[in-house]
Amino acid sequence: MISYLEGKIEHSGDRFVILNTGGIGYKVNIVPKLLNSISKSQDKVKLFVHSQLNMREGTFDMYGFVDREGLELFNLLISVSGIGPKNALNIMSSVEPKHLKAAVVNNDPEYLKKISGLGPKTAQRLILELQNKVDYLEIGDMKGMDLGQEGEAMEALVALGYTLSQAKDALKEDAKGKTLEQRVREALKLLGKNRR
């Protein structure tokens, strides 16, 4: 089993990179937002990988993460019945790890159902199967964290035509004491500045 790959990025696609390690190019599937933190200009990139033999399609797939925590979260997600590697990557690109943990700890399937490709049954199963497992993830205490406003603000921005990742980036500022309308207004200002 391969634990990690270290090398130079030769090519990157929408959801993968080709990593040249010792003259061999490995295709490694990644969370799209990772492309921002790693670039072709870096001499060496280290990706912690989960490798999987897909018998049905006859492929050997690798999924890469810049840190062990990302790999651990991925492994937790694929341990849930009905969630495969592609769905796990989709979940990881849609929500921050702390929000995912908060939704599980606070038994909030409504928040999870907003993730594309995650229906009500899978959201409930994810909570049920991960309830006792997420505590060891070093994400912080999530008891009582309110995900409602965060989710509503993201929904509003997506409805206005922004992508989920743009909405998440615009909503990163501290939300304490701010109404939903104030958060959306501030996010729109930030998104407007970035378009210029």
Q: What is the pLDDT of residues 26-66, one digit of tens each?
A: 999 998 878 777 765 577 899 999 999 888 888 899 999 98
Opening angle at CA 23, ends 60 and 14, nearest 5: 55
pLDDT of 39 reads 64
For the segment 85-108, the average pLDDT, to the nearest whole number, is 87
- Kindly list the domain boundaries of the chain, sorted by start residue: 4-66, 69-136, 148-195
For the segment 11-40, the average pLDDT, to the nearest whole number, is 86
pLDDT of 141 reads 45
Q: How confident is the model at residue 75 (pLDDT cuts 50, 70, 90)?
A: very high
Q: How many CA atoms lie less than 13 Å away from 82 in the CB half-sphere? A: 13
pLDDT of 46 reads 92
Q: What is the pLDDT of residues 142-179, one digit of tens each?
A: 444 455 667 677 767 766 777 666 777 787 776 677 78
Alpha helix positions (H), the chain: 34-37, 68-78, 85-94, 97-105, 109-112, 120-130, 148-159, 164-170, 180-195
pLDDT of 165 reads 67
pLDDT of 105 reads 83
Which of the two residues, 196 and 64, has the higher pLDDT score? Answer: 64
CATH topology of domain 148-195: Helicase, Ruva Protein; domain 3 (1.10.8)
Which token pair is 24? 């061999």
Which of the two residues, 135 and 183, has the higher pLDDT score? Answer: 183
- Neighbour tally for 14: CB within 10 Å: 7
Q: How confident is the model at residue 83 (pLDDT cuts 50, 70, 90)?
A: very high
pLDDT of 126 reads 92
Domain 4-66: CATH superfamily, name plus number: Nucleic acid-binding proteins (2.40.50.140)
Break the chain down into helix, strand, coil percent, rounded to 5.
45, 20, 35
> Measured between alpha carbons, how far is 173 from 30 in angstroms, rounded to an integer?
26
pLDDT of 147 reads 54
Q: What is the pLDDT of residues 98-150, one digit of tens each?
A: 888 888 888 888 888 888 888 899 999 999 999 888 765 554 444 444 556 67
Strand partners, 59: 54
CATH code for residues 69-136: 1.10.150.20
